[in-house]
Amino acid sequence: MKIVADENIPAVREAFASLGEVTTVNGRSLQAADMVSADILLVRSVTRVDAALLADSPVRFVASATAGVNHIDLDYLHTAGIAFAHAPGSNAVSAAEYVIAAICHWALENDVLLPGRSVGVVGYGNVGKRVVQRCESLGMRCVVNDPPLAEQGVDGLRSLDAALECDIVTLHVPLVTEGQHPTLKLMNAARIAALRPGTLLINAARGEVVEEAALLDRVTTADDLAVVLDVWENEPDIDPRMLQQTLLGTAHIAGYSADGKIRGTEMIYRACCEFLGEQPVWGSSDVVFDQPQIKVTLSPDPEVRQQVLDAYDIETDSVRLKAILEVEDAEIGQYFDYLRKHYPTRREFTTDP
């Protein structure tokens, strides 16, 4: 059994060694020539998996160690009879903690007490639910928007306009380009213009959910929003002008806790074992991390803001990416990918209720 895997999937060799011969590759430069003798393909979000990659290959199982599947042509896989698995929810705690750390950083920078502040949570999936739980633990009031769930009868959901009126707006929707509820440029020029002065806007969903040109225009002309971006249009070749205008700008690492990534590896490993009819012999409990966890109990206590940042220093991630702004004629795309590949160990600091 020949297994081709993105080199950035942690512990992939250890996990899949019992199933076959594992070859690791650069996921962004993976091409059809790499697949000519592969039986199994393991990817992350930087690899587009479609007919162009797999049509002439013997691949019969594909797995993505990610929650999102926008990079996967699911229709093609179905038509070609190729089985697929991914890791929904694997990085949800990590992404929610990124949002909490961003909020705490903003609050300390502006001497803001969090209890009583309103948070518009757009998207109530695996990440959005955890953001709400954690914000409410901090004493904040959440206004949640999710039209597909509202259609299913989920109670307590509000309009997008209501969510965008909040002190903080954080985006947690998948990238949907068609259908009744598309999210492509959900935050368009009109909605960006409608944000109240002083709003903190966080995007840790997908870059294309925000009309970046309109956001850049707002922050450069009015300079009255605080913006935190972990995802960008045209990754990895992000716009340095937009990066310059962020309170925090990071290299698509919101979900990059060591715990979350290992969880994702375990989920696709178990799915592959099931596909092959093999018993799993590896698990996340076999992994020894090189950094201990710092646990934080979230509460309305003002001291918690600093405790969160002591557990996860989000500003350091932003400083790393913004360092590229000081380098003349720098290759931003290469540096963006370098930061993702060489991301330091970051442990989760909260647990689900």
Out of 44, 172, 252, 263, the active site residue is 252
Burial code (b: 16+ CB inside 10 Å, e: under 16) for 320-351 equals bbbebeeeeeeebeebbbebbeebeebbbbbe
Q: List, for the chain, all residue ranges whose pLDDT scores fall below the cut of 50.
A: none
Task: Check: CB of residue 269 under 8 Å from CB of residue 282.
Answer: yes
The CATH number that domain 92-254+305-341 falls under is 3.40.50.720
**pLDDT for position 68:** 85
State the CB neighbour count (10 A cutoff) for residue 182: 12
Full DSSP string of 223-291: ---EEEES--TTTTS--HHHHHT-SEE-SS-TT--HHHHHHHHHHHHHHHHHHHT------GGG---SS
7 labelled catalytic:
no
The encoded tokens of residue 316 equal 């350091």
Out of 44, 206, 320, 347, the active site residue is 206
The 10s digit of each residue's pLDDT in 133-161 is 999 999 999 999 999 999 999 999 999 99
State the CB neighbour count (10 A cutoff) for residue 245: 18
> What are the extents of the domains in the chain?
2-86, 92-254+305-341
**Would the CATH topology of 2-86 be identical to that of 92-254+305-341?**
yes
**pLDDT for position 329:** 81
Out of 211, 212, 233, 235, the active site residue is 235
241 labelled catalytic:
no
- Which listed CATH number (3.40.50.720, 1.20.20.10, 3.40.950.10, 3.40.640.10) goes with 2-86? 3.40.50.720
Report how many helices (DSSP H) and strands (DSSP E) the chain contains, helices first: 14, 11
Q: Which residues contact 76 (CB under 8 A, 6 or more apart)?
A: 50, 51, 54
348 labelled catalytic:
no
Tracing tokens 């099931």 back to the chain, one arrives at 274
Residue 76 to residue 42: CA distance in whole angstroms: 17
pTM over 0.85: yes
